[in-house]
């Protein structure tokens, strides 16, 4: 009897190892689930709207929701996920605060046989993948959001401007990709220059403080691009405190679509904002149900976002949150 060659044995071993880790854990079909939702923090209207959306859908989706709030700490969010694993939840829904620190927690859930659905923010795709380590990423196209904000600003300024960029939470996928989308677009226009770019951590008052500081170094700024409306509104307060007229001396463009942003656009203080929907409850319930049924789930369940400027902000107030 001919023994299989070393190559054949190695191939089977590799495949076997591969197969063992080929797929993320499954979700059985049943009437009710114990679902963990690990939130990053509740420091702005966007995050509060997201949490409300998840809590509102829980009842109709048959979820007994285990909710945690990491208070802005990725380390605490890791501990929150580990606690959900210890509680043997059926499914973990995670908005990873930053792209890298949450990956070990995702792998621990996989090892414990608990499927993870990422919503709102993603993990570093070089270190973990949909279908293999987690079920899918449900969220907006942050690069496209940055590009759309940049496109609008180029049109609004005739392709000329000294831009201050207020970045979101350092290391988060929305901050990384909103920066990439915007900066790549603006770099194509010789008259547009990002003169300063700094994190305001997606928070209103931090955005105001950073804008106040950057204004001292760049008093001739003509435009502000904020990675979210909260920082944009903080920047508007800083501009006004410095005697500038937002919407006239300085054009402000942002992302999210909060009610305060729609109000600022209608009042002429903000130019435009790209929606970044926080309403993840229904789409997460639908995706989990399809997954349990055995449907093929795409690696990215993309959320489509609207766009608001002075032409539609007032009429769209009901979209705000």
| Binding residues vs ligand GZL (CB under 6 A) | 44, 46-47, 120-121, 139-140, 174, 202, 228, 230, 255-256, 276
- Least CB distance from residue 113 to ligand GZL, whole Å? 28
- Under 8 Å between Cβ of 224 and 163: yes
CB of 149 or CB of 238, closer to ligand GZL: 149
CB of 46 or CB of 152, closer to ligand GZL: 46
CB of 27 or CB of 57, closer to ligand GZL: 57
* Beta-bridge partners for 67: 37
Closest CA to 119 of 194, 58, 39: 39
For 163, list phi and psi in degrees, rounded to 5: -110, 135
- Least CB distance from residue 46 to ligand GZL, whole Å? 3
* Beta-bridge partners for 253: 225, 272
- Token look-up 């904002």 returns 273
Q: What is the DSSP string of 11-45?
A: HHHHHHHHHHTTS-------S-EEEEEEE----SH
CB of 42 or CB of 222, closer to ligand GZL: 42
CB of 148 or CB of 162, closer to ligand GZL: 148
* Beta-bridge partners for 163: 194, 223
- Least CB distance from residue 303 to ligand GZL, whole Å? 8
Instruction: Find the residue with minimal CB distance to ligand GZL.
Output: 46
- Least CB distance from residue 312 to ligand GZL, whole Å? 20
- Least CB distance from residue 167 to ligand GZL, whole Å? 11
């Amino acid at each position: 009897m001919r023994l299989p060659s070393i190559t054949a044995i190695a191939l089977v071993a590799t495949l076997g190892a591969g197969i063992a880790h080929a797929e993320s854990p499954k979700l059985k079909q049943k009437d009710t689930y114990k679902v963990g939702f690990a939130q990053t923090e509740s420091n702005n209207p966007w995050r509060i709207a997201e949490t409300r959306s998840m809590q509102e859908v829980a009842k109709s989706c048959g979820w007994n929701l285990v909710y945690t709030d990491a208070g802005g700490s990725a380390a605490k969010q890791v501990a929150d996920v580990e606690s959900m694993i210890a509680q043997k939840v059926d499914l973990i829904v995670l908005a990873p605060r930053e792209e890298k620190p949450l990956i070990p927690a995702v792998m621990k859930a996989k090892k414990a046989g608990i499927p993870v659905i990422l919503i709102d923010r993603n993990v570093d795709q070089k270190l973990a993948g949909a279908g293999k380590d987690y079920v899918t990423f449900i969220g907006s196209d942050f690069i496209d959001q940055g590009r759309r904000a940049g496109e609008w600003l180029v049109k609004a300024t005739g392709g000329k401007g000294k831009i201050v960029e207020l970045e979101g939470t350092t290391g988060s996928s929305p901050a990384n990709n909103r920066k990439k989308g915007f900066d790549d677009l603006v770099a194509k226009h010789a008259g547009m220059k990002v003169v300063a770019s700094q994190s305001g951590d997606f928070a209103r008052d931090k955005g105001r403080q950073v804008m106040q500081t950057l204004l001292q170094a760049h008093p001739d700024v003509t435009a502000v691009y904020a990675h979210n409306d909260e920082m944009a509104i903080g920047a508007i307060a800083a501009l006004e405190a410095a005697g500038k007229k937002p919407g006239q001396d300085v054009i402000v463009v942002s992302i999210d679509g909060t009610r305060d942003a729609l109000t600022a656009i209608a009042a002429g203080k903000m130019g435009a904002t790209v929606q970044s929907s926080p309403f993840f409850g229904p789409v997460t319930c639908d995706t989990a149900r399809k997954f349990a049924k055995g449907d093929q789930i795409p690696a990215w369940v993309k959320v489509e976002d609207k766009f608001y400027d002075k032409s539609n902000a007032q009429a769209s107030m009901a979209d705000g949150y």
